[in-house]
Structure 1
Amino acid sequence: MKISYLEFGEKGQNIVFLHGWQQDKKSFSPLVPFLFKKYRLFLVDLPGFGESDLTADILDSFDFAKVVTNWLKKRKIKKVILIGHSFGGKVASIIAKKEPQLIYKLILIANPGVSHPPKFWYPYKRFIPLFLKGFLLRFFVSRDYREAGKLLPLFKTIVKENLEPVFADIKIPTLLIWGKNDQEVPIADGIKINHLIKKSQLIVLDGGHFPFWEDPQKVADLIDKFIQNDRS
């Protein structure tokens, strides 16, 4: 199975980046200029995105995590700083829980995975006219859902996953980074995950779902400080 990735830097600690849904390995490119001189960076295409293959046996986030775990082991990438954004954060969380010996520290950016009550209209959806369903989809469903295309069946499974038991079992020092105006994964989710992961800290920045696009130097500084602080 082909897993495509970009590698930058030749020394220092290994940092592995896992992108969000509908993104690819280049998503984290804004961070590279601030980190590559000090760290060895791996920007990975998750299965089915960018130039990586997707096989029929990948059915949920746990399967994505298995693929990345096997990739890390095959390349003998150890003592990893694992960074995941959005969906990539779900995958990173599962790896940190199941393979803690591989991961030194975990950084989650705008990470989904906590449970939510159904939308107020959901119990009545069979009574809603078709044209109104389209309106509700546009205004109450995420952009990732609307643009999932051929991956929609897989996406529907993934968005229903409740990873709260996974978060509660993560023992690795964890940094949570959130944009206070995130419309995709609200800050309330970050607060809940912060409570679930015992060794975690939450930093809230101005901006939305992609804080490392909006202020890459700030996010890179937070990453560097977190890695260097052995008391984290």
Structure 2
Amino acid sequence: MTTSATSAQQARARYLEAERRLWLDHAGREPETRWVELPTLRTRVRLLELGEGPTLLFLHGGPTSASCWAPLVGRLPGFRCVLIERPGCGLSEPARGRLGVREHGAALLAEVLAALPEPPVAVVASSFGSYLSLAHELAHPGVVARYLHFGCPAPSPGSRVPSAFVPSMIPGVNSLLRRLGTWTADSSLRNFTVMGHDREAMSRPALASFLRWYTALMTLTPTRANDQGLFARIRPRDALRPAQLSSADVPMHFFWGRGDTFGGERSARRLTSLIAGSELLMVDGGHLPWLDDPPAAREFVEQVLDGR
């Protein structure tokens, strides 16, 4: 075995250990892993599955991976939670099919949904995952029963990219920044404060294993480089137009942090005003609001799906 192959195996093992500790801390057990082939994107993705009951399908933003949902999923014992690890994120393989970013999202969700033994009662998404799920709904209306969005869908009408993240989205600059900078535990903490999360709150013991896992994700997997490459491919044609969003005819529920730096309450009300029948709950928190108040996030899920 070559030195590089050995190094890659060691990095994978260290990442999986950080992921294992995260899940044990927040759910008391590890999720099962399943792989799903995506013919259109010419790749396969990793699904994490935990729990019993009606299926919830989770789609994360970026750069992150499926396990970012652990603090919420660990509080949802009444559901079978299936978490998509998007292509190129975590341990999922990068997409080799070069679709437009919007088409990429529609194909990703469509092919994962087709691989499930039963349809989910809802798709739960965040940030770029919410954008991709909205792209799927516009391409395949009515296939998903309802959507639960956590935080500002990025990009979407009224959203913005925090200035600190702009250089990482510029082709060439992003790779230079990765070569020049070393990612540390403090880098992870700083990343979440840029997204609108309180630094002291993110430093609390309950999130210690989360931050260790996130640092492992950034340093031991190619997630950061892969997602920055995908984000750099976003073009004006990928935008979700207000007129298109107004045509959506499926329940959409938003759990949105007031401190979300991708778009605060004004952005939330603008977006939800475009989607007929959508519901909005504003809470104190940042871009990934289930990290700020996991009990409130759990209650939101349970109330939306009560009597589903």
Is 1:4 paired with 2:46?
yes
Q: How far apart are 1:181 and its partner, in Å?
A: 0.8
**Is 1:54 the equivalent of 2:94?**
yes
Alignment match, 1:135: none
TM-score (norm 1): 0.80
- Report what 1:22 is aligned to: 63
Unpaired runs of at least 5, structure 2: 1-42, 179-223
| Aligned-partner SS, 2:295 | helix
> Residue 81 of structure 2 aligns to which amino acid in structure 1?
L
Offset of residue 62 of structure 1: 2.3
Say if 1:185 and 1:159 are closer, same or farther in 2 by CA, change over 3 A: farther
State how far apart, in whole Å, the 2-side matches of 1:155 and 1:143 are.
12
Structure 1 stretches lacking a partner, 5+ long: 120-137
Aligned to 2:214: none
Match of 2:125 in 1: 84
1:156 to 232, 237, 244: 232
185-194 or 211-220: which moved more? Answer: 185-194
Matches within 5 A, 1:125-136: none
The one-character-per-residue Cα deviations of 1:53-94 (angstroms, maximum 9, x if unpaired) are: 222324303212212211210223314300110000011112
Aligned residue in 2 for 1:132? none
SS at match of 2:45: coil
| Match in the other structure for 1:96 | 137
Structure 2-normalised TM-score? Answer: 0.61
Q: How much does 1:49 deviate?
A: 0.8
**RMSD across aligned positions (CA):** 2.6
Does structure 2 retain, via aligned residues, the 8 Å contact 1:17–1:84? yes
C-alpha displacement at 1:108, in angstroms? 1.2
1:185 aligned partner, one-letter code: G
Cα deviation 1:130-168 (Å, max 9, x = unaligned)? xxxxxxxx9464586367545444313337532134422
Shift of 1:173: 0.8
Deviation at 1:51, TM superposition (A): 1.6
Alignment of 1:1-232 (within 5 A): 1-11=43-53, 13-35=54-76, 37-56=77-96, 57-110=98-151, 111-115=153-157, 139=163, 141-142=165-166, 145=169, 149=225, 151-158=227-234, 160=236, 161-164=238-241, 165-230=243-308
CA distance in 1, matches of 2:156, 2:297: 23
- 2:18 is matched with none
Amino acid at match of 1:114: S
- Aligned residue for 1:123? none
> The residue matched to 1:51 in structure 2 has which SS?
coil
Deviations 1:165-224 (A, max 9, x none): 442221111101110011123333221211111020111000111111111111111011
Q: 1:117 & 1:109 partners in 2: Cα distance?
A: 14
> Structure 1 215/70 Cα, relative in aligned 2: closer, same or farther at 3 Å?
same
CA contact (8 A) 2:159 2:267 kept: no
Change (3 A) 1:2 1:172: same
Q: Secondary structure at the match of 2:233?
A: helix
The alignment covers a number of residue pairs equal to 210
How far apart are the structure 2 equivalents of 1:68 and 1:79? 12
1:92-150 CA-partner distances (Å, limit 9, x unpaired): 1122333344311111122123346999xxxxxxxxxxxxxxxxxx9464586367545
